[in-house]
Amino acid sequence: SDYFGRLIYQTALNCGCPCREIEIVNCRVLYETTCKPGYYEECTRIPRVIEEREIQHECQDCFSEYQTITVPTQIKECYPVFDEKCTTSYIAQCSTSNECTRLYKTHCETSGYSQNCEKIPYERCSPITKCHRTPETKCRPFKTKKCQYVPTTRQEKREFKKCSPYPDKKVPTSCNGFINDEKDIVITKTRQSIVAPSDNDLNYNRKIEESKPIRDEAPNLSSLSSIYALNPAPDRGSIFPLSKNEEPDKEDYNYALHRNDYSSELLPSPINTKPGSEFGPITDGFKPLDSKLLKKYYSVDPYDTLS
């Protein structure tokens, strides 16, 4: 169907202008995020160019153009002819003459018993008219014309269908240099660890507005790893700042501190600010970053110990 569609367009609608296939390279950038563990999670977004090749059909456009051309033709040429018309008449010319015929008549005289006869000649004349005709021609001049067709040329404007050239555009064949101006984007995320941060770290982390990952699945209380993989609420004395009117709840803190276990309500593990004075979990477990940002999760199995 695509072939016949292009054939109809090329012959009927596009004056038979040629078409060609060109390979178009579409470039788009995907960012791959990699993170390395540490007190701060440093994640780097590295741009990667994806080449998508596509075959497109490109046809030369048809347009009309009027041109003045010379075409052969014939014209009728006439020139005058001077002639004469003549009439010839024959006029009779007659002459009359007498034509005589000699005749003889017999004349007899009687004397006695004898008779003497003799022939006496005489003429008998009758008029005879003889005619002859002499031609007499009378002419009068007249003017006429004689015409004939002679070959010649004339100028004529005619419409011509032409094909425009292919557009002179640079078609990229690769995506080299597509992200020359792109730079790696470094995103720093804080880890939630029970190791007490220093004052400088605490002040730094309070400036970071960190969104909480959403975990909908139910906790698995049989594993310490699953508990630490969940997102705990901000704990008292942690790196999250308190509001103006909020005071730390010492009961919950002491309760969780001396209890040294993990409740089913997933209370945050206390931060042991005085190592060696009280029992408390020490771990390198941390909460994961946003799954939309990270391709990989880094976690360390937590463990309990006494200090």
Rounded to whole angstroms, the Cα distance separating 192 from 174 reads: 44
pLDDT for residue 149: 94
Going by pLDDT thresholds of 50, 70 and 90, the confidence category of residue 182 is: very low
Tell me the pLDDT of the chain averaged across its residues.
Answer: 66
pLDDT > 70 in the chain, percent: 52
Per-residue pLDDT, averaged over 5-10, amounts to: 58
Residues 40-57 as b/e (b if ≥16 CB within 10 A, e otherwise) read ebebebeeeeeeeeeeee
Rounded to whole angstroms, the Cα distance separating 5 from 57 reads: 12
Range with top average pLDDT, 80-94, 109-123, 203-217: 80-94
Tokens of 255: 């309760």
Judge contact between 59 and 41, C-beta under 8 A. Answer: no
pLDDT for residue 33: 81
Tokens of 298: 């880094």
Domain boundaries, the chain: 2-61+164-185, 72-151, 196-307
> For the purposes of burial, counting CB atoms within 10 Å of the CB of 266, is it exposed (0-12), middle (13-18) or buried (19 or more)?
middle
Going by pLDDT thresholds of 50, 70 and 90, the confidence category of residue 57 is: confident
pLDDT for residue 255: 37
Nearest CA-CA partner of 268 in 245, 294, 239: 239
Find all residues with CB under 8 Å of 86, minimum gap 6, and list them: 137, 138, 139, 140
Going by pLDDT thresholds of 50, 70 and 90, the confidence category of residue 106 is: confident
Name which residue leads in pLDDT, 266 or 115: 115
Rounded to whole angstroms, the Cα distance separating 240 from 288 reads: 16
Tokens of 286: 């941390």
> For the purposes of burial, counting CB atoms within 10 Å of the CB of 261, is it exposed (0-12), middle (13-18) or buried (19 or more)?
exposed
Rounded to whole angstroms, the Cα distance separating 20 from 17 reads: 10
Please say if the pLDDT value at position 148 is more than 70. yes
pLDDT > 90 in the chain, percent: 16
pLDDT for residue 11: 56
Rounded to whole angstroms, the Cα distance separating 41 from 192 reads: 10
pLDDT for residue 304: 41
pLDDT for residue 89: 92
Lowest mean pLDDT among 58-67, 112-121, 129-138, 220-229: 220-229
Going by pLDDT thresholds of 50, 70 and 90, the confidence category of residue 163 is: confident
Q: What are phi and psi of 35, to 5 degrees?
A: -125, 150
pLDDT for residue 26: 84
pLDDT for residue 28: 83
pLDDT in tens, 187-234: 555 544 434 444 444 443 333 333 333 333 334 433 333 333 333 434
Please say if the pLDDT value at position 150 is more than 90. yes
Q: What are phi and psi of 148, to 5 degrees?
A: -155, 160
